[in-house]
Every structure is written in structure tokens, then in C-alpha cells.
Structure 1
Amino acid sequence: MGSVDKTLFLLSRGGDTLIVQIYVDDIIFGGSSHTLVSSFAEQMSREFEMSLMGELQFFLELQIKQGLEGTFVHQAKYARDILKKFNMGDSKPMTTPMSTNTALDADEDGEAVDQKEFRGMIGSLLYLTATRPDIQFAVCLCARYQASPRTSHRQAVKRILRYLKFTPEVGLWYSSGSSLSLSGFSDANHAGCRIDRKSTSGTCQLLGTSLVSWSSHKQASVALSTTEAKYVAAASCCSQLLWMKAILSDFGLRFGRIPLLVDSTSAISVAKNPVLHSRTKHIDVRFHFLRDHYEKGDIDLIHVVSANQLTDIFTKPLEFDAFTRLRGELGVLQVEGVDNALIKGRLRANGPASLLSWCDE
């Protein structure tokens, strides 16, 4: 049993490994040996009434394509179902989920809209963000106005749906050649919220070149400067990196100083230089563990130029060129873009076992 995730189980036998992940009454399992996988399947069939679904292709609205070159995870069918559900199937496509001129606020003088429909849209889109980090910021921004939605808010959500019309078959590509190095990026849009002037944090964590975790959320307190806002975002990213480090230790992976890339030299200085502590006493104490873990050697704060800051896509609306560039660098690709890599066929019989799935009858 995993030390952090209690629904994860691992078995090592010789040089081979079997991995089993349980979700309620469904199981995903795979391993480096077909013999080990087949043995587990036979044992489970004897103990329980289970239906073996075979190679993992569809799971909880996630569509999975596996091949020699990597794995592609997307929700194309779910995206089309959303468009059909909200009568946006014939809408005009948009190239980005949110305009750079969009400035949402409470809009108290605006016309109220159906709250049930608006919340339905937001809920559907939030589940889609499981494989669509490109809409994470726009969806989370619109979700702030569920209590009293107005026409301007619904128009912003419809813009996201029109973007899905333009990119229905987009998902995450995980290359089999990616290295097993852990890294993180963090950024913040200072005072981005027009209502309470709280900043928006954006973080993402990568295993090699593969995006495995990301977030976009409004900070809990008002930051007095850009430095403070980015320092708080970096602390949040650090927390997630340490959790992932603990999870990956169950797989036998060990990491030294994990690089955390920030585009603010001032925020890095606050974390590295104890002399600056007197200037940052007003920052909530829970964020100062960033400095502690830097001193312990768990993370390494590294400056990255703003042009290469991947988390910009999680903190503010972007122009088409910048948006598509960052989307591609995060491994968010069109289905057609990965089909050539997958067309080489199924995994070879003497190669690593592909992921399989079971459903309880």
C-alpha cells in the first residue's frame, strides 16, 4: 500500500513492478511484465466477480490512447456532449477561451441569468479541466460568480464553449521518452481580481516534460506587492512539489533539490535571504515554509525569464500566439498531432504491459 495514497498498491517481483490503482469499485492496473499482469488478473478473477474490460481506453469520461511513443489522454467525447447539452454545437468557434480585453466583476447592474444553467455550465467545464489545462484559468475565473451570475458572466462562459468548438479533440500527451525529473513553475497576477484586488496564483508541476499537476486560484489574502504575490504562489507550488515527491517515493523514485522556477528575482531573494525577513513579517506564517524548505535543500529556487514562464496561461488571458505556444509547451496537443506517434501499433508483446481496467459487476 502506498504511504501517501492509500488507494495505490505496488508489487515488486524480481526486476518487474505491478501497479494497481483503485477508484471506488473500479481498478486500473499495469506493469512492466505481462506475466505479472496476467497473474494478478487471474487471481482477482478467482477472488471477486469482476468484468475485465481489457486495455484502458475509456475511464470516467477520460479517453486514453496508448502506443509505443507515449500515452494521450483527452475528453473529446465529453467536450462534444457539453456543447450539445448547452446548445452550442453550431456556435462560431473562438481561438482562445478568453479575450485579453475581458475584465469580469460582480456586474451588479447587469441582467441576472438562470443560476441553475450557469452552475451547470461551470460544473461541466470544471470536470473537463482534468485534461484541459488550457481552459483552467478562464473556468476558475467565471466560477467566482456562481452566486449571482449576470449576462456578462454567461457570455464569458459561452466564449469558453466556443473555444471548445474550435478545439474539441485536445488533450495531454505523455511521452514514453520523458525523463523522471520533477520540477515546478509558479507565477501570480498581482491584484488581478477587480472586486477585492486579490492576486491570482498559477502553478504547474512536471515530470520530465509531462504536465502532471496544475492549478489556478485566487489567493486568500491581499498581496501588497508583486513580490509578495509571487512569493505566496511559489509557496503553494512548493507544497504541491513536496506532496508529489512523497507520492513518487512509493515508486522508488528519489529526488534531491527540486527546481522551482519563478520569474521574480525579488521573490527568490525573500526566500533565500533571512535578512529580508523583517520586511516580510506581515506575510502569513504558513507561507514562510518556502524559506525553510529551501534551507533544508528540498527545493532550489531558480529564476526564469517571463517569456518562458509556463504558468502565465493559468494567471491571465493571453493573445493567441502566446496562448498556443504555452499550450504546446505544456504538452496540450490535438488528437491529430499524436496519432502519428501512436499509429505504430499496440505495445509489443515482449514490451511493458499496457494499462488495463476492471469494473465491478
Structure 2
Amino acid sequence: MQAPTVTDMQALKRVLRYLKSTISNGIHLTRSSHTSLTSFCDANWAGDTNDRKSTGAYLIYFGPNIISWSCKKQPTVAKSSTEAEYRTIATTTQELIWIQNLLEELQIPFTTPTIFSDNIGATYLCANPIFHSRMKHIAIDYHFVRDLVAAKKLQVSHVPTSHQLVDLLTKPLSSTRHHFLKDKISVIEDTSILRGPKGVLTN
């Protein structure tokens, strides 16, 4: 923002055009008796060409409804895709713990949370009792997640990349793939969601 280039301005205009064309989109919530907590997380390893930091993102579902999501650049440079993915798993776990505490306070039952990741190495680390010396710099994240998995308070499972819903937040996608994933997270178009007939925000 301090010294925008022509490329930056083109990207900004593209974002504004997208927001304008999707202003009537919103998340559709459905009534359900399912109380499962599931999440999808992913990282775009070294995706920023300026500083080579990764972008991590997650989607969290309660039953069939998405209730929490995030997409943020990681504060440090990851040395491998496994490290970037594992840090995202740890971030997702923190959010899941907060949601669990909220549900317990509201006395709403839920099943053991499951995190789906498409990185086999990161998934294996969550269940592997042997901590590799080359991963010492992420020891805090490792033990935080590993302890919960060992106590059976969290499950981390592998999901094929083709079924990774959070790609919508971390990767450039084709129009077809973008619309497919948008439908999967229950984003629908409804002109009554944000605006009335004259463009006035409704309650």
C-alpha cells in the first residue's frame, strides 16, 4: 500500500470486480442433527514470491455447516511443505479447541474433531511418536498437536488433493474448480442476503 505498482492496481481492480459481481452471495446454513466437528486445512508453501512465506488456511464445519474459516500468511518461512502444512494443522487445532470450549459451555454435544490434510508427511507426523531432529524448530506445534492425538481428543486424517476444500483459500484455481468448491462450502447466490430491492442493507 505504500508504493503500489501497476500490477498491484490491476490485482486490486480484479478483487473489486469480483466483490461487486458476488455481492449477493452468502453462506447457507441448514438445520441438522449432526454434531460432528470436522475441518480442512492446507498451506500454499512459499507462495509469496517476495518473501517466500507460506499462506495457511482452514475451514471448520459443525455438522454440514461451515462455522469458522481463516486464510493468513505464516509469520516465518517454512523449510518444507510438510512444515508449512503442520503449522497450519496447529493453527486449526487451536481454533478447534476454542470452538470445543464454547460448545461445552453451551452444553452442545459434539464428536471428536477431525482435521483433514492432503499432506501425507504432516498427517504422519501427528501420529508418529518419534520426533525427527530436523523438525526441532516446530517442536511446540508438534507436541501441542501430538498430545491431543495421543489422548484421542483429535484425529488427523489424510484427504486426497482433489477433495481438499480449502484450496479455495490458498491457490489460484480455474473458474470451474472455483465454482465447484464454492458450492461445496455452501456459498450460494441469493439477492435477499445482503441487499433489498433498492440496494439497501436489510436486517
Gap runs ≥5 in structure 2: 194-202
1:162 partnered with 2:17: yes
Match for 2:29 among 158, 163, 174? 174
Mapping of 1:5-16 within 5 angstroms?
none
Number of residue pairs matched? Answer: 194
Residue of structure 2 in register with 1:260 after alignment: 115
Question: Relative to structure 2, which stretch is displaced further, 230-239 or 282-291?
Answer: 282-291
Q: Displacement, 1:336?
A: 6.1
Matches of 1:284 and 1:155 in 2, distance apart?
41
Under a length normalisation based on structure 2, what TM-score does the superposition of the two structures give?
0.88
| Equivalent pair of 1:235/1:288 in contact (CA under 8 Å) | no
1:309 partnered with 2:164: yes
Match for 2:144 among 289, 296, 319? 289
Q: Displacement, 1:211?
A: 1.0
| RMSD (Å) for aligned C-alpha atoms | 2.0
- Pair 1:177–1:253, CA change in 2 (3 A): closer
What are the superposed Cα offsets for residues 69-111 of structure 1, whole Å, 9 maximum, x if unpaired? xxxxxxxxxxxxxxxxxxxxxxxxxxxxxxxxxxxxxxxxxxx
Residue of structure 1 in register with 2:90 after alignment: 235
Gap runs ≥5 in structure 1: 1-145, 339-356
Mapping of 1:1-361 within 5 angstroms?
146-177=1-32, 179-283=34-138, 285-335=140-190
Matches of 2:192 and 2:42 in 1, distance apart?
29
Under a length normalisation based on structure 1, what TM-score does the superposition of the two structures give?
0.51
- Pair 1:286–1:313, CA change in 2 (3 A): same
- Residue type matched to 2:110 in 1? F
Q: Displacement, 1:285?
A: 2.0
- Pair 1:157–1:265, CA change in 2 (3 A): same
Q: Displacement, 1:293?
A: 1.2
Matches of 1:333 and 1:178 in 2, distance apart?
22
- Pair 1:209–1:323, CA change in 2 (3 A): same
Q: Which structure has the highest strand share of the two?
A: 1
Residue of structure 1 in register with 2:199 after alignment: none
Aligned-residue sequence identity (percent) comes to 36
Q: Displacement, 1:337?
A: 11
Residue of structure 2 in register with 1:129 after alignment: none
Q: Displacement, 1:153?
A: 1.3
